[in-house]
Structure 1
Amino acid sequence: MMNGRRLALMQILDSRKKYTARELAERFGVSMRTIQRDLDYLQTIGVPLYAEVGAGGGYRALPNRLMPPLQLNQSEALGLFMLLQLLELVPDFPYGEIRSHLADHYYSSLPLDTKEQIDRIGDHLAFIQRAAVIPAPWTTLILEAAMEKRRLSFDYSSSGGIKITQAFPLGLYYEQGCWYVPALKDERTLLYRADRMHNVCKLDATLPELQTMKEWMKQEDDRERVQVSLQFTPFGARVAQTDPDYDLITDDRWEGLVPHQELPFLARKLLRFGPEVRVLQPPALRSLVAGLLRQAAEQYAHDEDVTS
């Protein structure tokens, strides 16, 4: 069975250093026979130990080894399963196999009363995903490439069609149902949608000086910005406050600085509020929204001509 000494032994071997059986026995103050039984036990439960014989030999753990077992109290175990339920809403979570492993294997090892409490929580707790779930099966590979600072090759689907692309990913971030990949291409950092990346593979080329995504996100956006003022109806304000972009609404009004290049995108986002919002500033944004509304109205006017 797993005791404190065997757990500590597993953690020591996981350090990637090599230890002889004698060094391990002396470290734990036990006999060589006892430490050998501990090593045999770890191998039987799946810890992939590698033994080298002869002078300079010893024991070490191989890659893809098993990690030390979770040791949680009941409150922590309940919190873990609620967290797993929440993660189920995030499609293609990197290393996502952890969800099914913990939900099945770890659950089966819990005491009966803890299992029953987890089941009861499931009857009274739900997480709802409002954003569209868009598959992005390459997230683990992309994240590994970012950590290794390696170049990726992938086919990218854009409005202009599918293009074969190579770039160095900085990392991943998840927002409103989509995974996004900032990546360095031709000395420019571009933003890709992970669900539009296909046939992704890592290349040999590396870039040791590549910045991390954390560093990239801290950089100031030096694009020219314009002042935007939006006046919502009371109902529109309640709807808008569910969107992180409009969480700072005061007296049904939102104001902020927006990059000039983002105005067309913002205009399309505002369409979903219909008559519940009015653009006060800038005139360019007001014109964009008005033009989109006219296009929408013309589509319905055409339908009326056909049916009349």
Structure 2
Amino acid sequence: MSKAKRLLDILMFVKTKRKFTAQELADEFEISVRTIHRYLLDLSDMGLPIYAEQGRHGGYTVLENRMLPPILFTEEEAVSIFFAFQSLSYYRSLPFDTEISAVAHKLYNSLSNDAKIKVDKMRSYISFWNPKRSIDTPYLNDLLEASMLNKNLSIQYDSKSGITTKYIRPIGIYAHDGLWYLPAYDYNKQKILLFRADRVLSIQLKETNEEEFMNLEEWFDSTEVTNPIRLYALLTREGVRQCKSVPWLEGCVETKEDGTGYIDSPIEENEISFITPLFYRLGTDVQIKEPKYLIDRMRLQAKEILKMYPE
């Protein structure tokens, strides 16, 4: 029997039994006690938390842990998981204790030599790219925990108007374009707002809520508009292409046969501040018809820029 198969059998046995002696393992697998000790050292190096008790009545105990039992993957499944990890490598902060590089390293080492050669070659031809961000998000784990535990938070937030204190109820976190975002119910504004997680400067845990609230998945699926205004804009072919690359705007774009298009959709009134910079970057590839408030904001921004570049 190969050493790898023997280690797997011993691992399954000790995780089930939890408390045992080296002699018991030697009798079970019909090998020497010395060999059992070597195998237990190998398992410990692999991450199995084993506690040794010395003395006449001593032995070994497998401590409570979150280590998963062995999972068998096909070669194709292992390769696909390995490359899925690659998309996470562009994020400076992750809400996980184990570094993705360590997990990917373990998975790579478990592959056959042929599979390793295949992976090494594929690295030059495929990438799940995101912008490489150097921004740290120190409270990412805490924000996720608070969302899952249904807790309110008092946060110091670096907003456009300066550092402010927010009293919120977070509903989850999500990653987009190399950054982490935090949708949360703002008790002062009495509505769900979207915060940049890296702009949270400090947090203070508050009370736990008794009643359930909307979670991130439900928020993504929600299409309810509480303060609707009409957004109507004409798009060139390039405007259609650009707007369709924006996830939250993609579903609102209607395309004509010639490739041009338009947006005619109700939006939340407070979304105007997010839409203005996007449409301003599009320049002549978008012509806003409604609302007048958005047109006025575009004009104001254009005037402010022209002041910086007088003739």
TM-score range for the pair, normalised by the shorter chain length: 0.7 to 0.9
Change (3 A) 1:11 1:214: farther
Verify: 1:279 aligned to 2:288, yes or no. Answer: yes
The aligned runs of 1:64-83 (5 Å cut-off) are 65-83=66-84
AA of the residue aligned to 1:250: T
Corresponding position of 1:34: 28
Verify: 1:236 aligned to 2:230, yes or no. Answer: no
CA distance in 2, matches of 1:46, 1:130: 33
CA distance in 2, matches of 1:180, 1:128: 18
- Give how far 1:76 is off: 1.4
Contact 1:152 1:200 in 2 (8 A): yes
AA of the residue aligned to 1:34: E
CA distance in 2, matches of 1:242, 1:9: 52
CA distance in 1, matches of 2:264, 2:124: 42
Verify: 1:182 aligned to 2:183, yes or no. Answer: yes
AA of the residue aligned to 1:258: I
- Give how far 1:225 is off: 1.2
Q: Which runs of 5+ in 2 are unaligned?
A: 54-59
Corresponding position of 1:207: 209
Corresponding position of 1:25: none
Corresponding position of 1:27: none
Q: What is the aligned residue count?
A: 288
Which SS does the other structure have where 2:255 is aligned?
A: coil
CA distance in 2, matches of 1:119, 1:224: 52
Change (3 A) 1:196 1:270: same
The aligned runs of 1:1-308 (5 Å cut-off) are 1=3, 3=5, 5-9=9-13, 12=16, 33-34=27-28, 45-49=46-50, 61-63=63-65, 65-95=66-96, 97-130=98-131, 134-165=135-166, 167-184=168-185, 186=187, 188=190, 189-200=192-203, 203=205, 205-211=207-213, 212-219=215-222, 221-244=224-247, 245-246=249-250, 248-251=253-256, 252-300=261-309, 302=310, 304=311
Contact 1:230 1:254 in 2 (8 A): yes
- Give how far 1:62 is off: 1.7
Q: TM-score, normalised by structure 2?
A: 0.74
Q: Which runs of 5+ in 1 are unaligned?
A: 14-18, 22-29, 53-57
Change (3 A) 1:89 1:275: same
AA of the residue aligned to 1:279: I
Change (3 A) 1:266 1:44: closer
Contact 1:154 1:165 in 2 (8 A): yes
AA of the residue aligned to 1:137: P
Corresponding position of 2:57: none
Which SS does the other structure have where 2:267 is aligned?
A: strand
CA distance in 2, matches of 1:263, 1:196: 21
